[in-house]
Amino acid sequence: MPRKLKNIELNRLTVDEFKNTAKLPIVVVLDNVRSMLNVGSVFRTSDAFLIDSLYLCGITAKPPHRDITKTAIGAENAVTWSHNPSTIDVVNNLKSEGYVVFGVEQTDASVELNTIDFRTHDKVALIFGNEVDGVSDEVIALCDHLIEIPQLGTKHSLNVSVCAGVVIWEAAKGHVHAK
């Protein structure tokens, strides 16, 4: 019978080792995400896939806060993050730094996530929006590409932290095996 590995057997990085490890050329931007639990979950996912940095924009909560820590379980101490009141400013700065900006939103111009090869871009920015209103129209207008996750059931959306997990993995997976 298979045996579950103990945490010590997983050979995970310490916070200091994480900070000194080369990151993937991917950044994540949260555009007015309301739930601190969702923010914490995105921190944890960003840690899991060595995301370069996380931008918390607008009303998105920032550490320290117990509700973020509850789901981040310490990842907020490892992942490089910043807060900016304007998602538009962050996106414009990322574009000026050579990032290709992907808005994750259902629009009449969105393409399905499974059709994108993120490895063809040197630097990728992934934007996730508010739980009710999604990515703002002003930010959508700045995106180089709009993508959505194909869904087969009756619901039209996923929780933002679940969506972020799926998209971040898809963006990271080509780089993970190259390490």
Cα 109–chain centre separation: 21
Q: Is residue 2 part of a domain?
A: no
The model's pLDDT over 57-84, given as tens digits with 9 standing for 90+, comes to 999 999 999 999 999 999 999 999 999 9
| 83-141 confidence digits (pLDDT tens) | 999 999 999 999 999 999 999 999 999 999 999 999 999 999 999 999 999 999 999 99
Describe the chain by its helix, strand, coil percentages, rounded to 5: 40, 20, 40
Contact predicate 35/70, CB 8 Å: no
The number of domains in the chain is 1
In a domain, 58, yes or no: yes
pTM of the model: 0.95
* Domain assignment present for 7: no
Q: Is residue 4 part of a domain?
A: no
For residue 6, being part of any structural domain is answered with no
Query: Domain holding 75: CATH number?
Result: 3.40.1280.10
Within the chain, residue ranges assigned H as helices are 15-19, 36-48, 66-72, 87-96, 137-140, 160-176
Give the domain range for residue 134.
12-176
